[in-house]
Amino acid sequence: MQGKGKPVVELDYPEWTRDLAFLVDITEHRNVLNVTMQGRNKLITEYYDSVCAFQSKLALWNTQLSKRNAAHFPCLKSQPVNHQSMDKYANLLSGLRHEFDNRFTVFTELEKDFAPFHSPFTIDASEVPEAIQMELIELQCCAPLKDNYASAIESFYQSLPPQ
């Protein structure tokens, strides 16, 4: 920009460039989550898994940044950092994790309800609502469905009869 006669004053301030580097890294992480949650033929359990994984990553990154470790933040890692900045970024990640916890509380509340759909052949029928216990047992004893489930979960649910 200086070569073009349009200097960017902010780039002269190390704190500003550190903040920008952190923002670039966390935006990349959030974009990866966004992409994993797009597409057709996904089950709610896949979305739940993606959100849980991201929340776990936030916790890991928070811990690592608190220890001055920017391993998963390549842009930030390339910047000279200080303890105060790393604490600030760790706090920002803590706030982001809190926001995810609040926004996706319904997933946590429904986690036990996902089990019959996530792993229908391993769940104990006594652990599901009574209204679907008999149907679950029938499903677990159906060899063709079990084979179809093993090959691909999407085609498994598509092959189920309408009831």
Answer yes or no: do 128 and 62 share one domain. Answer: no
| Domain interval for residue 94 | 9-111
Please, which pLDDT band fits residue 145 given cuts at 50, 70 and 90? confident
Q: Express each pLDDT in 43-89 by its tens digit.
A: 788 888 899 999 999 999 999 999 999 999 999 999 998 889 999 99
Answer yes or no: do 24 and 84 share one domain. Answer: yes
Number of domains in the chain: 2
Answer yes or no: do 149 and 97 share one domain. Answer: no
Question: Within 10 Å of residue 123's Cβ, how many Cβ atoms?
Answer: 15
Residue 129: inside a domain, yes or no?
Answer: yes
* Calpha distance 18→1 (Å, rounded): 19
Answer yes or no: do 107 and 125 share one domain. Answer: no
Please, which pLDDT band fits residue 154 given cuts at 50, 70 and 90? low
* Calpha distance 160→163 (Å, rounded): 8
Residue 1: inside a domain, yes or no?
Answer: no
Residue 116: inside a domain, yes or no?
Answer: no
Answer yes or no: do 104 and 126 share one domain. Answer: no
Q: What is the pTM of this model?
A: 0.74
The two tokens of residue 92 are: 């920002």
Residue 15: inside a domain, yes or no?
Answer: yes
Answer yes or no: do 105 and 125 share one domain. Answer: no
Answer yes or no: do 102 and 82 share one domain. Answer: yes
Question: Within 10 Å of residue 74's Cβ, how many Cβ atoms?
Answer: 12
Amino acid identity of residue 8, one-letter, is V
Residue 3: inside a domain, yes or no?
Answer: no
Give the distance from CA 126 to its chain's centroid.
30
Amino acid identity of residue 56, one-letter, is S
3-state secondary structure of 11: helix
Answer yes or no: do 102 and 144 share one domain. Answer: no
Answer yes or no: do 84 and 16 share one domain. Answer: yes
Helix (H) or strand (E) holding 154: helix 153-159
Answer yes or no: do 59 and 129 share one domain. Answer: no
